[in-house]
Structure 1
Amino acid sequence: MKSLKYYEKNRHATWLELFFDLIFVVAIGKVTHILGDVHQGHFEHEQLWTFLLLFVPLWWLWSSHTIYSNRFDTDSNPHRLATLFIMLLLIVLSALIGEKPEVNYPLVIACYFGIRVIISIMYISSRSKLDGRGEFASRLGFALLVSAVVTISSVLFDPPMRYLVAYFGIFLDVLLPVFVGSILKPLPAHTEHLVERLGLLTLILLGESVISLSAGLSNIQWDRYNVMTAITGFIMICSIWWIYFESFYLLSNNESNMTGHALIYSHLFLFMGLALLANLIRHAILNDIAIRDFQIMSIIGMALFFIGKQYGYFIAVPKIRKYILQNTLIVLSLGGLVIFMPRVEYILVGLTATMICYVFLNFRYRGIFINRP
């Protein structure tokens, strides 16, 4: 049996993990596309709920596999085969995703169940990989099987009860690693590896934002507003990259015994914020959205992005908590002001300016840490 990659010096994401991320983004792209259309300038309530109901389970599939790999990956043939089969189910699942989740619901939930079962078996089989803490892997694996059974049992019910049952099982899935970990004390998260995985996925999702920007520029009638919006959209994406990765080294250098849950769970909000902002850039270019909807989704997207980005730092780096609270309050307050501008193009410019403002605000605590790479 191969040894755990957890103990390798200078550990990095494996080629298989990078491949897994690409497949995952295909599925996330299908979900994000649900917000790509508006109806007479407005998002429909069913459209927004569908986005939320599909986004959370997909995020958890990626997160749960990442949590497992962070501690128990051996890059062995069984691990590779299990991960590749998960990727196959993700492809099938992404092909079934649409704006009407009830149409293919049994097949979608079956794919989700299959992935959860594979991850559970991976946990259970990892018991022998650790001497003192193998019980954590075994118990968590069996607990996750129970929550997976709860989720698939939702096919026995009609809407909306089936969604309540399915999400009850999903929330059990999300909370079980925390509860089991608090009792059995698993290995601390491999911080450098976890931060790298999150950063790589964020980078790929930013690439999806560029694709959304490019798609919005196809077959449009060019005018000064389109040009301004396209340039502003790209500057916003660059600003998001700068905000996310400028202080990334603070997480990588963190030496506490983190479980990693703060980083994993906060990125749900960050990823959702990125999805909303990417769609808003596209709608601003097409000018096909009512300004009221644009205002609401803009402030929600900004809030989700900054809350998701900041919470992990707030937990992991206590030295900068004061700056985190101040900077976040300033940028969200500015964002709340600029959304009242008279055109969606101007609002996008204002939101981009607030992000650039945040970049400069971050310079205030750079001197606190001397050993920056």
Structure 2
Amino acid sequence: MSEKPEDPAEERHASWLELFFDLVAVAGVGQLAHLVHGSTSWADVGLYVVCFLAFWTAWMCFTVYGNVVGGAAKTMPVLAAMAGLVVMAASVAGIHGDHAKVFAIAYIAVRVLSDRVWEHRKDGVRVLVDWPVAHMGFGVTPWIVSIWTPDSWRYWLWALGVLVDLVITFTFSGKRLTENVTAKLASRRGPAVQATAARLDTAHFGERLGLFTIIVLGEGVLTVTDAMAETPKWDRPLYWTALAALGLLATLWGAALREGSGGIPYLAADRLKPRLLLPLHCLVAGLLAAFAGGLGDAIESVGHEHIETSTRWLLAGCVAALAVIGALCGLKSGRRAWWAAVVLVPGLVLPAVVGFFGGSFTPVRVLWLLVLAAGAGLGGWFFARRITARGEAGRGVRPV
């Protein structure tokens, strides 16, 4: 069963099947954020990174499938993958125990299924040259081995599997992948099956990546809401802290979606190839999800009048990392060097102040400093637009 084929003349948007599939991202991001919510362990941070990469990769395997085949996407495999991702998300709460095996098995099942959906009886096998990881590869092998290994080795094997996928992403050529698949098909018995190269629909793909980023930012809003609801005493510091948290999320939304592309801060459309765009999107989404967990801790810290050191560094580190990514992507997109400096200087200095000297700062002061750090790029953009508008007005040109 598949959706009704689309009219190629119409502008393409996410289908109902794709939007329904994205609901698993809501569940997954919410569960994964809990790994760093209230945690003071670097081991938990490392486990969060590995689990987020695995969940994002499994989600992306079917996102790129829907992007390439469009309305011809097979409904049942997508729904089956959705079930697997739900199991992965539900397993996160017990990831330190027996549920770790369930997480690994569900991940393996989704990856195996993602490899099979590219086969079609009439069209042969499509090979996604823009992102070879969509086809099951060596990166799944450590996950399979981890099912029978002791707990102390399991997470290291997961990390190895994720690392292998990253290496494949940057080093394995689409031409070589197509040749390998063609040779594999030639060795099969039965009727000959052709392998054809497939490319991503970049315009539609940017929308899909942006939707995932919206979901991650929505988790931040939900975290702030839950933290407020669980706070017994509502007073002025709580209101101002919550307002600062929402201001931070709005600022990050402006940088990643209003002034960015595909959920990447300040990136113009079609400036990066998919093999670089996808890992970068994963990095940004992971930072935003971790940041969402830290915001909940910040709201809960209002009564203590200070934020725990680990949470403070988590928030500051995420803002600083996003500032670096935004500045580099802005330069790649043709923005001026002075604008990149406007992003980087406060985007690095203010988080450093928060991290090193913010132990005595109240939560509201910490968050408002981070608002200034995260919003510097938007301020520079607004200033540049005003200067341009004044110049055009001086020449008698009406602003658009």
Same fold (TM over 0.5): yes
Deviation for aligned residue 1:2: 9.1
Amino acid in structure 1 at the alignment position of 2:337: K
- 1:152 aligns to 2:152 (yes or no): no
Partner of 2:188: none
SS at match of 2:234: coil
Q: Deviation string for 1:220-252 (max 9, x for gaps)? A: 212322121011111111111122223236989
Aligned length: 359
Using structure 2 for the length normalisation, give the TM-score: 0.77
Moved more, 171-180 or 81-90: 171-180
Q: Per-residue deviation at 1:345? A: 2.2
Moved more, 110-119 or 258-267: 258-267
Paired position in structure 2 for 1:116? 111
* Distance in 1 separating the partners of 2:52 and 2:261: 28
Structure 1, unpaired ranges of 5+:
none
Task: Please give the secondary structure, in 2, of the residue aligned with 1:162.
Answer: helix
Tell whether 2:246 aligns with 1:234. yes
Query: How far apart, CA to CA, are the structure 1 residues paired with 2:351 and 2:371?
Result: 9
**2:71 maps to which of 52, 69, 75:** 75
Is the counterpart of residue 298 in structure 1 residue 315 in structure 2?
yes
Q: 1:74 to 1:245 in 2, by over 3 A?
A: closer
Looking at structure 1, the residues matched to 275 and 369 of structure 2 have their Cα atoms a distance apart, in angstroms, of 33
Tell me which residue corresponds to 1:172.
164
Superposition pairs of residues 195-344 of structure 1, within 5 angstroms: 195-219=206-230, 220-248=232-260, 254=269, 259-287=273-301, 290-309=307-326, 315=332, 317=333, 319-320=334-335, 322=337, 325-330=340-345, 331-339=347-355, 340-341=357-358, 342-344=361-363
Q: Flag the structure with larger Rg.
A: 2
1:61 is matched with which residue? 58
Q: Which moved more, 1:196-205 or 1:273-282?
A: 273-282
Contact 1:31/1:97 (8 A) holds in 2: yes
> Aligned partners of 1:125 and 1:177: how far apart in 2?
24
After TM superposition, give the deviation of residue 312 of structure 1 in Å. 5.0
TM-score (norm 1): 0.82
Q: Deviations over 1:129-186 (max 9, x none)?
A: 68xxx4556x958962443234212222223323232332233234334434454595
In 2, Cα distance between equivalents of 1:99 and 1:327 = 43
What SS is found at the alignment partner of 1:222? Answer: coil
| C-alpha distance 308-121 of structure 1, shift in aligned 2 (>3 A) | farther
Contact 1:268 1:308 in 2 (8 A): no
Deviation >6 Å, runs of 4+: 1-6, 249-253
Q: 2-side partners of 1:143 and 1:80: how far apart?
A: 19
Report 1:325-364 matches (<5 A): 325-330=340-345, 331-339=347-355, 340-341=357-358, 342-363=361-382
Instruction: Provide the rounded CA distance (Å) in 1 between the counterparts of 2:340 and 2:128.
Output: 35
C-alpha distance 74-195 of structure 1, shift in aligned 2 (>3 A) = closer
* Structure 2 residue aligned with 1:96: 91
Q: CA deviation at 1:3?
A: 10
Distance 1:343 1:249, change over 3 A: closer
Q: Greater CA deviation, 302-311 or 61-70?
A: 302-311
SS at 2:151 equivalent: coil
CA pair 181-127 structure 1, distance change in 2 beyond 3 A = farther
**Hey, what's the Cα distance between the residues in 2 that align with 1:336 and 1:178?**
32
Is the alpha carbon distance of 1:135 and 1:208 closer, same or farther for their aligned partners in structure 2, counting shifts above 3 Å? closer
CA distance 1:199–1:103, shift in 2 (3 Å)? same
Task: Render the CA deviation track for 1:183-226: whole Å, top value 9, x for unaligned.
Answer: 45955532211211111111122111111111111142123221
Question: In the TM superposition, what is the alpha-carbon distance from 1:293 to its structure 2 partner?
Answer: 2.1
Q: Structure 2 unaligned segments of length 5 or more: list them.
A: 179-196, 393-398
The one-letter code sitting in structure 2 at the alignment partner of 1:322 is A
Alpha-carbon spacing, 1:335–1:253, altered in 2? closer, same or farther (3 Å) = closer
The root-mean-square deviation of aligned C-alpha atoms, in Å, is 3.6
Higher relative helix content: 1
Q: Which whole-Å CA distance do the structure 2 matches of 1:217 and 1:150 have between them? A: 41
Percent of aligned pairs with the same amino acid = 20
Q: Distance in 2 between matches of 1:177 and 1:127?
A: 28
Letter aligned with residue 348 of structure 2: L
Q: Does the aligned pair in 2 maintain the 1:154–1:166 contact within 8 Å?
A: yes
Residue 26 of structure 1, CA deviation: 0.3
Q: Are 1:33 and 2:34 counterparts?
A: yes
Mapped to 2, the partners of 1:48 and 1:6 lie a distance apart of: 45
For 1:207, give the aligned amino acid: G
Task: Label 1:282 to 1:65 Cα distance change in 2 as closer, same or farther (>3 A).
Answer: same
